[in-house]
Structure 1
């Protein structure tokens, strides 16, 4: 039993995976499937029942009517013999029964011809009806497609009775009319359903587009919620979330900028007092170093605050931006190599993005002797690789370096590690563009910074 249960579980998983792969990926496609599948199953079921019960019953009754007329003609001829009576009977069959009847005197049907034939749907019903109405008389059935008729040859004692029956007496056109109406109405209902589904999908796509743009840090105007009640609730929740996030970012940025700006005033007074101190004072040198460190920290805080400020997104020449950034780094003594495609454009915040790349290059130049920058694109994103040949960052500390004011150097020496905000600013800028930044091992032995931005 254990082996059988295992096989059943494997079969269930394979079947579930196969069905999952066949399912549409989009909500619109799945909604169409929900609408179309019941209609299709209903049509198949109704058509099967109609053909199995109604059409079969109608065809059998029509065949019985034809067989009864033929049997009546033969019975009248047997009851009223003679040439005059036979002519009257045949005229009645032609005029009132709509049967083309003729008698071939002295003719005989081939032996076993009835058993050798294969009949279709209508002919089968006619054969059964003739066997019930004329149980002791051999007969033969053939279909004349050109004349759209069925030819009956019935063996009589003195000849062969030929009866030509039009298809209209054996076939009901209501069958095709019913199917055509059913298909036409189903197509109309499907069109109406597609129209309503498309209108319901529009607010969902609008909400998804707004969320994607907001995730990239782009400005998103408030839009009027529409669609079903659940979609309206989701749109209103998105608006509330967006305003709350923007308010928190603004408050944090304003607080940090205000504190950093207020610190400049006492720093300026301290620098003035130091300038007035005599050069012979031994404490002056150490105090000047402390004031310089504090000034660099304040500048770092202000740079962090500026990185949080809202900046308009505009189409920017990425190639030119990287070339300018690399040229500035080279003027400061950094050995930087650049590999970027020509005429690469993207919609970014140019000032904050350039500040981000500058911070990353400055951090790398502080520890490495050479830096390599590679920019490449795919169909959906831009990939930026910054490699160096420095000591790198241990894997255990790679997540911590993105925390504000975190430094690998515990001494807090400004000459060896800065203020600890460079990587934080870079991460916030990249996340503000809807991208991702990660750290890894460089082929040159140092640190690799990988940035992925959606295009």
Structure 2
């Protein structure tokens, strides 16, 4: 069973990856197998039969000449027979008086396709007689020498009498038609692959949060249905995001008015212990409302631009230093990527704010690879246990269950950062920092 699995995996690795290549393989392989089968049958049957019959005809003519010379001896009869063979049989015949054949051992082992058929036919037509066959490439002919009782008969026959030229014509026509069909298949498959690539490009672009215009479905019926389903899905997702964002922004905005009134009323009251506790609760609610508004702004549509990430990272670092952060920046001079500038700065700001809240020092490193912009945010804080790293991206999740505004926010900072990164088609990962705290890795495609 294991051997079968290994063979299957090996064949799977040999298979092409793209749909175009696999479809082309489905078209090409039957044509190749059909050509091999037809060629084999043709060579085994047609060409072999034709070559055998032509060789039998030549051998019969040689046997007839020998029979005539045996029946009508004499120089005059011999000249008449040679003239008849030359004009009517198209054979160049001559007699070598008093010669004997020297037949080397293993001669027939070196015979080619035509020589083998001719030798077999001569054995049938001239039983008991020795002969040799030699191919004269320069004259495009076969030289046959037959041992007679006292002489050697030499016969020169043209190669064209021993094979049919229709063989090559058949092969050329077969190959030519196959190439023409293959060309038509290539054009057809390329036209069918174009709408699939268009759909894949649109899906990838939409997955990165970029604006995708509706395109006209084309291609086969199944591809048209897939394109229409993509358009419907895109509009439903955009409508849902818009409704959620508007609702969250509206609720958060409406809450700011009563919170402001409550804050003013508390300022006018006496500064006793109960009032201070209420003021702390109001401040917590205000921070949460600001977090909700920030989350809503992160969901707003913003145009994607090709920007220099180095400048945006420098702005975030300078803002953090003005707020008292201790930040060390290591950044390449020119890192370009297609991002939403405000969303990117909000993502990086949330990460640095989160690091400042739990650590004393923050290290930011940014570099440019061939296909990705790679950014790391390290700190020397307590870090996050591996069991909770997946939970911190959930909305409103906080490791500090006390809900103290001094030790944590509303629980939306990491959620906003993740949504921003995923909205650009990137990745965000959490790990252990070499500085002893948490490392956040950001990958943004170019």
Q: Equivalent residue for 1:3?
A: none
The alignment status of 1:427 with 2:436, answered yes or no, reads no
Q: 84-93 or 265-274, which moves further after superposition?
A: 265-274
The alignment status of 1:340 with 2:338, answered yes or no, reads no
Alignment partner of 2:321 out of 294, 318, 330 = 330
C-alpha contact (below 8 Å) 2:335/2:367 kept by paired residues: no
C-alpha contact (below 8 Å) 2:309/2:336 kept by paired residues: yes
The alignment status of 1:151 with 2:117, answered yes or no, reads no
Alignment partner of 2:285 out of 294, 302, 318 = 294
Q: Distance in 2 between matches of 1:440 and 1:114?
A: 82
Unaligned 5+ segments in structure 1 are 1-8
TM-score (norm 2): 0.96
C-alpha contact (below 8 Å) 2:363/2:377 kept by paired residues: yes
Q: Equivalent residue for 2:390?
A: 399
The alignment status of 1:303 with 2:294, answered yes or no, reads yes
Q: Equivalent residue for 1:226?
A: 218
Deviation at 1:11, TM superposition (A): 2.7
Q: Equivalent residue for 2:434?
A: 443
Q: Distance in 2 between matches of 1:358 and 1:115?
A: 91
Alignment of 1:46-445 (within 5 A): 46-110=38-102, 112-113=103-104, 116-117=107-108, 118-275=110-267, 277=268, 279=270, 283-445=274-436
Deviation at 1:84, TM superposition (A): 2.1
C-alpha contact (below 8 Å) 2:367/2:373 kept by paired residues: yes
Q: Deviations 1:230-270 (Å, cap 9, x if unpaired)? A: 21121111111111111111111000000011112212322
Residue 142 of structure 2 aligns to a residue whose secondary structure is strand
Residue 4 of structure 2 aligns to a residue whose secondary structure is helix
Q: Distance in 2 between matches of 1:243 and 1:278?
A: 51
Inter-CA distance 290–14: structure 2 relative to 1 (3 Å threshold): closer
Q: 391-400 or 48-57, which moves further after superposition?
A: 391-400
Q: Distance in 1 between matches of 2:130 and 2:396?
A: 107
Deviation at 1:281, TM superposition (A): 6.4
Q: 79-88 or 249-258, which moves further after superposition?
A: 79-88
Q: Distance in 2 between matches of 1:254 and 1:416?
A: 30
- RMSD value over aligned CA atoms? 1.6
C-alpha contact (below 8 Å) 2:337/2:445 kept by paired residues: no
Q: Distance in 2 between matches of 1:433 and 1:364?
A: 23
Deviation at 1:21, TM superposition (A): 1.6
Deviation at 1:279, TM superposition (A): 4.8
Q: Distance in 2 between matches of 1:282 and 1:175?
A: 109
TM-score (norm 1): 0.94
Deviation at 1:113, TM superposition (A): 4.0
C-alpha contact (below 8 Å) 1:114/1:140 kept by paired residues: no
